[in-house]
Structure 1
C-alpha cells in the first residue's frame, strides 16, 4: 500500500489545521534540523511508538528527501491506522526548506552519524591513496580496507565505523533540542 504525497505547502496548511507531523528520520538527524512541531518517530523504532492518530485524524510523514517515507509507506499507513488520513510530505525536509518554510536548526548537535561515516571513510580512502602513491604502496591497504568495510555495511547493514563513531564523546549524549533553536527560512 502506498500513501499519497502532498507538497510542503499543502502539508503546512494541514499542520496549521491540526494535522500531526511525524519525522521518521533517526534521532540524531532530527536533533540537528527539524520542522517546527514535528514529532520524531524513527523508522527503526516505529513498532514500539505510539502515534497520535486514529479515525478522523490526519498524519503527515516526512524524512530527509522523501525516499524513506515512500519506501516504507505500507508500514507507515499501518501505523497510522484505519480511518486516519495519512500522507507523505513530498521531498521531505529538503523540499520543505526549498519551499521557504521554517526549519529549526541546532548547529550545536553533532553531524548525523551517516555523514560522520561518509566523512571518515572518504578521508581515510583519500589519505590512504595519496600516501600509497607518494610514500609507500603499502598504504593502499587503507582504501581497500575502507572499500571492503563499506561493501560489508551495504550487504549486511552492519557498519563498524558507525558503531565506533556512535560512542565518540561528541555523540555520547545526544542533547535534547534546545528550547529556542535558530529558525531558518
Structure 2
C-alpha cells in the first residue's frame, strides 16, 4: 500500500474544507484527558468496515485516523488498507504532532490512568501478592508469579496483552 500519512496542517485543512473527517482510535482514558476538537471516536479494537459504513460517509470523503503518536493509526492502515474504499489516512505524528502545530484540541478535564499504566499496576500488584503468598503461605503461589511473568513476556514478544484487553472492558475504560 502506498504511503497514506498526512501531516497535521494538511489534515486540518481537509477537515476545515469538509474533505475529511478525523477518527480518534485511542483508548477511552486517553480520550478523556485530551482530544482533537470535533473528531469522532472509534477505539482501535472496534474499527471495522461495518463500523465505518455506519458513519454514512461518501466514498470521496477522506478518513484520517489518529492516535497519540501515529503508530497505532499507521498499523491500522497496514492491517485494513481497503477500509472506506482505501480513502483512509494516518495522521503523521498523531495527536502529539497536532498539538505541536498549535491546532485546536479540547481538554475534558478528566485525567484517567492510561491503560498501559493500569496494566502495569495490576500485573505488578499480582506478582507482588503471589510472591508474598508463595513465601509466607504456600510455595505453590510461585506458580502464579511465574504465570504473570510469562504473560508479560508474551505481551512483549507478540504486542498483544490479554490483561490490557480485560482491563479495556472495565466501565471507566469504555465509551459512555
* TM-score, normalization by structure 2: 0.70
CA distance in structure 1 between the partners assigned to 2:168 and 2:62 by the alignment: 37
Q: Go from structure 1 to structure 2 and tell me whether the alpha carbon gap of 1:75 and 1:52 turns closer, same or farther (over 3 Å shift).
A: farther
CA distance in structure 2 between the partners assigned to 1:58 and 1:164 by the alignment: 32
Shift of 1:75: 4.5
1:8 aligns with 8
Shift of 1:87: 2.1
CA distance in structure 2 between the partners assigned to 1:162 and 1:23 by the alignment: 18
2:75 aligns with 71
Shift of 1:115: 2.4
Aligned counterparts, 1:90-101, within 5 A = 90-101=92-103
Unaligned runs of 5+ in 2: none
1:80 aligns with 84
Q: Go from structure 1 to structure 2 and tell me whether the alpha carbon gap of 1:52 and 1:2 turns closer, same or farther (over 3 Å shift).
A: farther
CA deviations on 1:41-67 (whole Å, 9 max, x unpaired) are: 222111241344333222211111111
CA distance in structure 2 between the partners assigned to 1:28 and 1:79 by the alignment: 26
1:150 aligns with 152
CA distance in structure 1 between the partners assigned to 2:160 and 2:153 by the alignment: 10
2:60 aligns with 56
CA distance in structure 1 between the partners assigned to 2:30 and 2:116 by the alignment: 9
Contact map agreement 1:5 1:87 (CA 8 A) in 2: yes
CA distance in structure 2 between the partners assigned to 1:46 and 1:159 by the alignment: 19
Shift of 1:96: 0.9
Candidates 159, 162, 165, aligned match of 1:159: 162
Q: Go from structure 1 to structure 2 and tell me whether the alpha carbon gap of 1:101 and 1:14 turns closer, same or farther (over 3 Å shift).
A: same
Q: Go from structure 1 to structure 2 and tell me whether the alpha carbon gap of 1:3 and 1:37 turns closer, same or farther (over 3 Å shift).
A: farther
1:102 aligns with 104
Shift of 1:149: 2.9
Higher mean alpha-carbon deviation, 100-109 vs 141-150, is at: 141-150
Shift of 1:89: 1.0
Unaligned runs of 5+ in 1: 177-185
Contact map agreement 2:116 2:164 (CA 8 A) in 1: no
